[in-house]
Amino acid sequence: QVQLVESGGALVQPGGSLRLSCVASGFTFNRYPMTWHRQAPGKEREWVATISSGTSAYYADSVKGRFTISRDNAKNTVYLQMNSLKPDDTAVYYCNVVVGGHYWGQGTQVTVSS
């Protein structure tokens, strides 16, 4: 079965950096686009970034220029490098894949605060 396991969330000061990881299993990883979403307290889940099965990447305007999505197909892992973090980036971050249906990981908490 499809499984997604995120890690790397932490408490970080404004202006800091974090790298999130999502390890995937249960499907042919290198054939599918992968996506990061986030959900802040009291808000709806929102799309953050997508990487194609190749290397094409797409970003929400709110993170463009600060976040970088990448993938390592040999490790079945997708990453989200987050730089210049802001308090508004505080959220639970989820990775997602559509393989027949939508699959989500359990999420990893990112808190940006001084």
Average pLDDT over residues 81-106: 97
Tell me, what's the pLDDT at 70? Answer: 98
Q: What is the pLDDT of residues 13-67, one digit of tens each?
A: 999 999 999 999 999 999 999 999 999 999 999 999 999 998 899 999 999 999 9
The dihedral built from the CA positions of residue 24, 25, 30 and 32, taken in this order, carries a sign that is negative
Tell me, what's the pLDDT at 66? Answer: 98
Tell me, what's the pLDDT at 17? Answer: 98
Backbone phi, psi, residue 11, to 5°? -90, 125
Residue 113's pLDDT band, with cuts at 50, 70 and 90, is very high
Element containing residue 94 per DSSP (H, E): strand 91-99
Tell me, what's the pLDDT at 56? Answer: 97
